[in-house]
Amino acid sequence: MDRKQPCRVPLTFKIAETCSTSKARTGLMILPHHDVDTPVFMPVGTQGTLKGLLPQQLEKLDCQIILGNTYHLGTRPGTTILQMAGGLHQFMNWKRALLTDSGGFQMVSLLQLAHITEEGVTFRSPYDGSECVLTPEHSIEIQNTIGADIIMQLDDVVHAKVTGPRVEEAMHRTTRWVDRCLLAHQKSDEQNIFPIVQGGLDPQLRTESAKLLTQRQVNGFAIGGLSGGESKNDFWRMVHLSTNVLPVDKPRYLMGVGFAVDLVVCCALGVDMFDCVFPTRTARFGCALIRTGQLNLRQKQYKYDTAPIDDSCDCSTCKNYTRAYLHQIVTQETVACHLLSVHNINFQLRLMRDIRDSIKEQTFPQFVRKFMLELYPDGEYPTWITEALEAVDIKLSK
């Protein structure tokens, strides 16, 4: 595809292979700035940078898409600067695909006084205390300026544990807001708005939400309102139910999910895109991800450990550095944070590559069984994992 030509459809999703057992699928999502292999994990670069890593390092890790946060970017550097720069791609010199959130969730979680009305998210400016409203239109306007390949509708966020009429109200409001977002969208040939399936943990509401959104002219869908402290038992059922209703031929993005085990289960449930701050955040505290869990390199036990973090890992950290040296510099030198970020991002991307390869080769169920047995060597799997996988015909080995 020639990228110099403006593509009329800013997203083409081609499924290459579907798992013959589960709902897992692998494919290619063609976006204006880059092609993305799915299922994909998107590292989070909140403020137009990914935890000390150069864009060149991310490219070397074969990272195809990263996420930016609209609330943070709208505050600093602000839309004026981003406009002058020609969008976030130019500003941070990232040549591959980008996705931004709507800013609403960040506001509700970061600003104590934020509340939601039909107009939008009302909040007090953290700078001058004045009352401001982030409307669906305004969110899209900011995201149009940022210029990410995929942008999110503003949704009415309800905490995962809230029940009752508020959940229903939020679901319907989210549906009304997606129409306002689509109407306000100025760059529909360059950017894709994904609506967000809501409905809390109520199967009926979630089904209805997914059905309503499916009626809109969009190129992909997000599943929201999960990974906010609900039980795993509710979590997987809501994901399973959402992917059952959403159209097969469009990408599905499960927001805020990124623990390795969740990635594996949710790929089986038919999710194509994930994001999570965890791999880079945990790096700052000296934690390295491995298939059997994680290493806290601050611990004394690594002082004389001459092994790399993971000898099967092909990242530049594992090729050059040992646990013993990392133990000396974690939380002391920024270099340690960079080294662990490289490894942790590679860990996530490698896991997704393995998932994609296994789906392509029709060995995904075997991959899942092997992965789970490595993580739970005694075969004592958490019930939610067993049940979620059984729902898509994958039986774990004892």
Partner 1 sequence: MKFMPELFTQSSARLGTLSELERTPDVVLETPLLMLYTKRGSVPHITKEVLEMITPEKLLLTMSLPTTFDMTDPVRQFKSIADFVGLKEYPVFLTMEDPAQPTVSGYNDEDTIAVWTRHGKQIINADGYMDIVEAFRPDFYLALYDSDTHSGSSSKRITKSVDRSIKMLDKCLTRHKASEVVRNKGIFGAVGGGYNTTAREMSIKNLEGKDLAGYVIDGLHNNGPETEKIPFQFVEDIVKHTISLLPQDKMRVTMGAWNPVTVINLIKLGVDLFDSSYPYLVTERSCALTFLYHHSETGESPMISISEKRYADDFTPICKDCKCLTCLNHTRAYLHHLYQTKELLGAVLLMIHNIHHYLEYFKEIRNSLRNGTFRELETKIYVIFAKNDSAN
Residues 324-363 touching Zn ion, rule: CB under 5 A, are: 343
DSSP characters over 288-322? EEETTEEEETTSGGGTT--S-S-TT--SHHHHH--
20 binds, among partner 1, Zn ion, none (CB under 5 to 8 A by kind): none
What is the rounded CA–CA span in Å between residue 126 and residue 89? 27
Question: In angstroms, what is the minimal distance from the CB of 283 to Zn ion?
Answer: 11
Indicate if 37 belongs to the active site: no
Report in angstroms the alpha-carbon separations of 14 from 135, 147, 196, 215: 33, 23, 21, 21
Segment 290-329, which members bind Zn ion (CB under 5 A)? 313, 315, 317-318
Catalytic residue among 149, 262, 272, 275: 275
Shortest reach from residue 377's CB to Zn ion, in Å: 22
Contacts with 340 (C-beta within 8 Å, 6 or more apart), sequence order: 282, 283, 284, 286, 287, 288, 297, 309, 317, 326, 330
Reduce the DSSP state of residue 355 to 3 states and report it: helix
| 25: contact with Zn ion by CB under 5 A | no
Instruction: Output the six-digit token pair for 154.
Output: 């503003």
Give contact residues for partner 1 (rule: CB under 8 A).
47-57, 60, 72, 76-77, 80-81, 84-85, 91-93, 303-304, 306, 316-317, 320-322, 324-325, 327-329, 332-335, 337-339, 342
Which residue, 7 or 85, is less far from partner 1 as judged by CB?
A: 85
* 103 annotated to a ligand binding site: yes
First to last CA, the chain: 47
Structure tokens at 136: 């669906």
Residue 129 annotated as binding site:
no
Q: Which is nearer to partner 1, 55 or 203 (CB)?
A: 55
Confirm whether 62 is a catalytic residue: no
What single-letter DSSP state applies at residue 127? T
* 91: partner contacted, choices partner 1, Zn ion, none (Cβ within 5-8 A by kind): partner 1
Which residues are identified as catalytic?
101, 275
Residues forming the annotated binding site for Zn(2+)?
Answer: 313, 315, 318, 343
Q: Which residues bind Zn ion (CB under 5 A)?
A: 313, 315, 317-318, 343
